[in-house]
């Protein structure tokens, strides 16, 4: 798992706050013997976007496989290896679901001592699920939070960008649906505040009619309050809008809490990079759950794995912003550690360097979006 954070300084005092209302006025009236009740108006705090509010820019590499994530068993010497990697842009989202599938396979071996490779969202979920069954778990990882790729993730719960839609099969759809449903329920079972989880409205915007995201259509019921909005039903400068509610999982809080729980349950964490199958075979645990993400390309020879570079810029926090936005090539998530502005999705790019052109595009695009709110 590969990630780098590139800090930037906030230089000047931020400009003034603006919050504009949108929606229908609340009213309750009885006419012709019927009672009409409308929701109170929804107020949207405007995101303040400017260069002098930038606090950092970060880069991470998503572990993408065109045919989708891998959950399968392989024998490596006398070791049983259960693979659980290749989640693309859905690592946090699918972590509990694919880990549940992987742990089911690992448990069939009858062993009760396990090694987990990787300490991102997928590795930590696998470790906790094994511990909940009474297993003895050791995590081996080159990087621990906050240095994992999962720490660079945006954190919106949405099983999207996980595979090439042209490679879909009935089997892959069924596997994705099962993993998504398991994961969605698991996140709801965690103490939300303690693990950095909250529900937020998400607004998808476009000047062209909005297409359906095939991944969302598979699990449409997991997106409550789904609604297509008219131009007067939202404050954004876009002809078309879709609203749904989903979870935002804040990686710094979530991953720290997960690692804490692994240790409290007696799990060992060993900082170590494994560079070959031979080194995997030398581990003392008889069963290995491989959650190395992009690292599986070299470690286990998965040539289908490729990096997809993602770049995010953070602005000073605005606690009053309580919604998310996605539009063409841009997205905003309001996190406690800053207003997250994305993003990029560059296939085959291994560089962890900040792309200044992309950063300027992201900042300028969001400035135009929020300046255009009414």
How many angstroms separate the CA atoms of 183 and 70, rounded? 16
CATH 3.40.50.720 fits 63-196+249-307, yes or no: yes
288-304 pLDDT per residue, tens: 999 999 999 999 999 99
Residues of the chain with pLDDT under 70: 1-40
The pLDDT value recorded for residue 212 is: 86
Q: What is the pLDDT of residues 6-54, one digit of tens each?
A: 444 333 333 333 332 333 333 333 333 333 334 567 899 999 999 999 9
pLDDT of amino acid 40: 62
What are the sequence ranges of the domains in the chain?
63-196+249-307
Other C-beta atoms within 10 Å of 13: how many?
Answer: 7
Contact criterion met (CB below 8 Å) for 90 and 162 = yes
pLDDT (0 to 100) of residue 7: 44
pLDDT digits (tens, 9 = 90+) for 305-348: 999 999 999 999 999 999 999 999 999 999 999 999 999 999 99
Report the distance separating Cα 338 and Cα 5, nearest Å.
14
Q: In terms of Cα–Cα distance, which of 177, 151, 149, 148 is closest to 162?
A: 177
d(CA 57, CA 8): 7
Angle (CA) 92 44 252, round 5°: 25
């Amino acid at each position: 798992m590969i990630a780098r954070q590139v800090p930037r300084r906030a230089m000047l005092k931020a400009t003034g706050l603006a919050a504009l209302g949108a929606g229908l006025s609340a009213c309750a009236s009885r006419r012709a013997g019927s009672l009409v009740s409308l929701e109170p108006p929804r107020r949207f705090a405007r995101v303040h976007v400017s260069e002098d509010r930038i606090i950092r820019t970060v880069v991470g590499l998503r572990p993408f496989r065109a045919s989708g994530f891998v959950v399968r068993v392989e024998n490596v010497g006398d070791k049983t290896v259960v693979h659980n990697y290749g989640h693309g842009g859905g690592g946090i989202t699918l972590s509990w679901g694919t880990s549940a599938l992987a742990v089911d396979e690992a448990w069939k071996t009858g062993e009760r001592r396990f090694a987990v490779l990787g300490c991102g969202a997928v590795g930590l979920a696998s470790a906790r699920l094994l511990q909940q069954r009474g297993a003895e778990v050791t995590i081996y990882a080159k990087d621990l939070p906050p240095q994992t790729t999962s720490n660079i993730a945006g954190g919106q719960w949405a099983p999207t960008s996980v595979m090439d839609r042209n490679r879909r099969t009935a089997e892959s759809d069924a596997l994705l649906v099962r993993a998504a449903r398991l994961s969605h329920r698991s996140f709801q079972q965690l103490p939300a505040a303690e693990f950095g989880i909250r529900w937020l409205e998400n607004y998808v915007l476009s000047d062209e009619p909005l297409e359906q995201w095939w991944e969302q259509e598979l699990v449409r019921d997991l997106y409550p309050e789904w609604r297509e909005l008219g131009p007067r039903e939202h404050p954004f400068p876009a002809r078309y809008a879709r609203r749904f509610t989903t979870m935002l999982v804040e990686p710094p809080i979530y991953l720290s809490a997960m690692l804490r729980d692994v240790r409290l349950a007696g799990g060992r964490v060993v900082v170590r990079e494994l560079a070959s199958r031979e080194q995997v075979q030398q581990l003392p645990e008889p069963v290995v759950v491989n959650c190395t993400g992009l690292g599986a390309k070299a470690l286990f020879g998965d040539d289908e794995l490729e990096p997809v570079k993602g770049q995010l810029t953070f602005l000073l926090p605005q606690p009053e912003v309580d919604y998310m936005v996605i539009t063409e090539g841009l997205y905003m998530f309001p996190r406690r550690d800053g207003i997250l502005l994305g993003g990029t999705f560059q296939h085959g790019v291994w560089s962890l360097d900040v792309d200044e052109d992309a950063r300027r595009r992201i900042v300028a695009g969001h400035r135009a979006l929020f300046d255009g709110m009414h």
